């Protein structure tokens, strides 16, 4: 299989080339040139998540240098469970994606990308530096996934003082080949610095760079697997499709579910829960697509004003009317996030993070409107990562999962950096061995 750009002005690329490049040379996003078609019967009930992933991803890897490694890559990336659990309210479920090393769903994509890139780096003599701007969860997942991988280094930029204390600790606790830079600026400043470095050819001649942001195919493709596994599990039991509500920022997670559905998996409707950044809700309500500056909310990993994967959604649904008919998106402001955290604890005995709370709130609204069938709320992070928001609302401490506790026990260290490109450039050159 080959991968083409959503802007159709770049040559088709192999999977390995598309993963290594990140963005296509015409500025578009890589998408598969054909979509494989599966039926539920092709999967068997005793398959592990890693085996489901390998079966699902095999056509995407066909003909690529990484194809013989696919089983090993999946075993390495999918080494923690993504359980689908029934909630106390009938027909409602939660798909828990926070059992990885940094307690957010981004561990899946980051681990898969690291497993691919470390194989592509074999035999290379020059170190590759992965540059990441993060509003919290991405940087930690990428740092954990690439920690101590040979010939790979990670430089994480995060806005000083604007991530949760536990997120900041996670970013700084790895050391070795991971450098955490706390930038005197906003997330948008961090992202602008990374973009400048990735476009700086003279710098890259001395310090080879790549990125790991949410448009990376190496993150997108594996995320299809947990939707497939959950929907297949439900299908075998009930013979009905499973519907999903997905907390959404850059649309990376939700688009993976949409792609899995387009490949024939028994996935029903997909509803998108936003926080008060309303670009998608406004579009799906019939307005134009108008990117804007992001605003800070309680669900900080979804503070996105220009969802980067929207371009892929438009590729799959070129007609805006058909696109609007296929999905719905609703905004959940901070007050409703707080209420959902409180209510889910009181009514369902569930403790949820602020991102998951947006999806729970949307599900409650869908049920109130008379929606039937089986729905799964996608739980994107463990509530212990956001204890300063959750604990005052539920009135008690959130137990910390062991993987997260282990990271919090390590000492953490981040270097300050001015929000200034010359400073970043100098730092990258100083740290490079060549
Ligand atoms: C990144 C993130 C999201 C948003 O995911 P997108 O792929 O950007 O839509 C939601 N919740 C949590 C906890 C996240 O870390």
pLDDT of residue 69: 98
pLDDT in tens, 117-160: 999 998 888 899 999 999 878 999 999 999 999 999 999 999 99
pLDDT of residue 432: 66
Residue 434 has pLDDT above 50, yes or no: no
Q: Under DSSP, is residue 426 helix (H, G, I), strand (E, B) or coil?
A: helix
Residue 248 has pLDDT above 70, yes or no: yes
Q: Which residues pair with 253 in a beta bridge?
A: none
**Residue 211: CB within 6 Å of ligand 1?**
no
- Tell me the H-state helices in 92-240: 106-120, 137-146, 165-172, 187-198, 201-206, 217-238
User: How much distance in Å is there from the Cα of 250 to the middle of ligand 1?
Assistant: 7
Residue 433 has pLDDT above 70, yes or no: no
pLDDT of residue 23: 87
* 302 part of a folded domain: yes
Pocket test for ligand 1, best of 110, 247, 307 (most atoms within 8 A of CB): 247
Q: Is 352 exposed, middle or buried (0-12, 13-18, 19+ CB in 10 A)?
A: buried
CB 358 within 8 A of CB 381: no
User: How much distance in Å is there from the Cα of 253 to the middle of ligand 1?
Assistant: 7
Q: Quick one: which of 362, 390, 401 has its CA closest to 96?
A: 401
pLDDT in tens, 38-68: 999 999 999 999 999 999 999 999 999 999 9
CB 337 within 8 A of CB 288: no
Residue 326 has pLDDT above 60, yes or no: yes
* 365 part of a folded domain: yes
CB 244 within 8 A of CB 257: yes
* 236 part of a folded domain: yes
Calculate the CA dihedral of residues 387, 403, 117, 175 and round it to 10 degrees.
80
Residue 296 has pLDDT above 70, yes or no: yes
Q: Name the least confident of 193-197, 247-251, 428-432.
A: 428-432
Q: Quick one: which of 115, 12, 126 has its CA closest to 66?
A: 115
Mean pLDDT value of segment 100-115: 97
Q: Which residues form the catalytic set?
A: 106
CA distance 377 to 92: 8
| Residue appearing with tokens 């990258």 | 428
Residue 183 has pLDDT above 70, yes or no: yes
Q: Give the number of C-alpha atoms closer than 13 A to the C-alpha of residue 200, restricted to the C-beta side.
A: 21
Which atom of ligand 1 has the smallest separation from the CA of 356?
11
**Residue 380: CB within 6 Å of ligand 1?**
yes
**Residue 354: CB within 6 Å of ligand 1?**
no
* 67 part of a folded domain: no
pLDDT band at 332 (very low <50, low <70, confident <90, very high): very high
* 326 part of a folded domain: yes
Q: What is the pTM of this model?
A: 0.96
The protein residue with its alpha carbon nearest to ligand 1, atom 7, reads 252
Q: What distances in angstroms separate CA 250 from CA 47, 169, 225, one per listed residue? A: 30, 24, 19
Whole-number average pLDDT of the chain: 95
* 75 part of a folded domain: no
Interacting residues of 192 by C-beta distance below 8 A, sequence separation 6+: none
User: How much distance in Å is there from the Cα of 262 to the middle of ligand 1?
Assistant: 21
Q: How many distinct structural domains can be found in the chain? A: 1
Mean pLDDT value of segment 363-368: 97
| Residue appearing with tokens 């998106």 | 329
**Residue 313: CB within 6 Å of ligand 1?**
no
CA distance 98 to 80: 9
Rounded to 5 degrees, what are φ and ψ at 33? Answer: -80, -15
**Residue 135: CB within 6 Å of ligand 1?**
no
pLDDT of residue 274: 98
CA distance 224 to 265: 10
| Structural domain span for residue 276 | 80-104+218-399
Q: Give the number of C-alpha atoms closer than 13 A to the C-alpha of residue 85, restricted to the C-beta side.
A: 11
Q: What angle do CA 320, 323, 327 make, to 5 degrees?
A: 145
Q: Name the least confident of 39-48, 86-95, 156-165.
A: 156-165
**Residue 99, domain CATH:** 3.40.50.1100
Which atom of ligand 1 has the smallest separation from the CA of 355?
11
Residue 84 has pLDDT above 90, yes or no: yes
Q: Name the least confident of 22-26, 92-96, 243-247.
A: 22-26
Does an H or E element contain 160, and which? Answer: none
CA distance 201 to 199: 6
* 199 part of a folded domain: no
Mean pLDDT value of segment 66-84: 98
| Residue appearing with tokens 């990140």 | 22
Q: Quick one: which of 295, 294, 309, 291 has its CA closest to 250?
A: 309
**Residue 251: CB within 6 Å of ligand 1?**
yes
């Amino acid at each position: 299989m080959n991968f083409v750009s959503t802007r159709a002005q770049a040559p088709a690329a192999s999977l390995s080339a598309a993963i290594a490049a990140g963005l296509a040379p015409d500025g578009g996003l890589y998408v598969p040139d054909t979509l494989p078609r599966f039926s539920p019967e092709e999967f068997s009930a005793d398959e592990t998540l890693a085996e489901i992933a390998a079966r699902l991803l095999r056509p995407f890897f066909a003909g690529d240098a990484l194809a013989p490694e696919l089983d090993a890559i999946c075993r390495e990336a999918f080494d923690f469970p993504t359980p689908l659990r029934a909630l106390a309210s009938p027909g409602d479920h939660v798909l828990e994606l926070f059992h990885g090393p940094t307690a957010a769903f981004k561990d899946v994509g980051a681990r898969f990308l690291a497993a691919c890139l470390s194989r592509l780096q074999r035999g290379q003599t020059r170190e590759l530096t992965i540059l990441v701007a993060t509003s919290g969860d991405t940087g930690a997942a990428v740092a954990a996934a690439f920690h101590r991988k040979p010939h790979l280094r990670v430089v994480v930029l995060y806005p000083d003082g604007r991530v949760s204390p536990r997120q900041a600790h996670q970013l700084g606790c790895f050391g070795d080949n991971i450098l955490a830079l706390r930038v005197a600026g906003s997330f948008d400043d961090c992202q602008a610095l990374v973009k400048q470095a990735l476009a700086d050819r003279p710098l890259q001649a001395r310090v080879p760079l790549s990125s790991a942001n949410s448009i990376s195919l190496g993150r997108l493709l594996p995320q299809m697997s947990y939707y497939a596994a959950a929907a297949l599990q439900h299908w075998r039991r009930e013979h009905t499709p499973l519907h999903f509500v997905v907390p959404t920022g850059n649309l990376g997670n939700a688009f993976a579910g949409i792609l899995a559905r387009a490949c024939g998996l028994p996935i029903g409707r997909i509803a998108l829960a936003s926080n008060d950044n309303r670009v998608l809700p406004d579009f799906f309500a019939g307005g134009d697509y108008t990117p804007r500056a992001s605003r800070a909310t309680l669900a900080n990993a979804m503070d996105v004003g220009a969802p980067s994967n929207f371009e892929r959604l438009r590729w799959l649904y070129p007609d805006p009317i058909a696109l609007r008919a296929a999905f719905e998106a609703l905004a959940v402001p901070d007050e409703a996030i707080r209420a959902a955290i409180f209510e889910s604890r009181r009514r369902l005995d569930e403790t949820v993070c602020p991102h998951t709370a947006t999806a729970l709130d949307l599900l409650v609204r869908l049920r109130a409107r008379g929606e039937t069938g089986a729905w799964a709320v996608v739980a994107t992070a463990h509530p212990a990562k956001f204890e300063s928001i959750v604990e005052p609302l539920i009135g008690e401490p959130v137990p910390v999962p062991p993987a997260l506790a282990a990271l919090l026990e390590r000492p953490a260290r981040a270097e300050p950096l001015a929000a200034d490109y010359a400073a970043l450039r100098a730092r990258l050159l100083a740290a490079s061995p060549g």
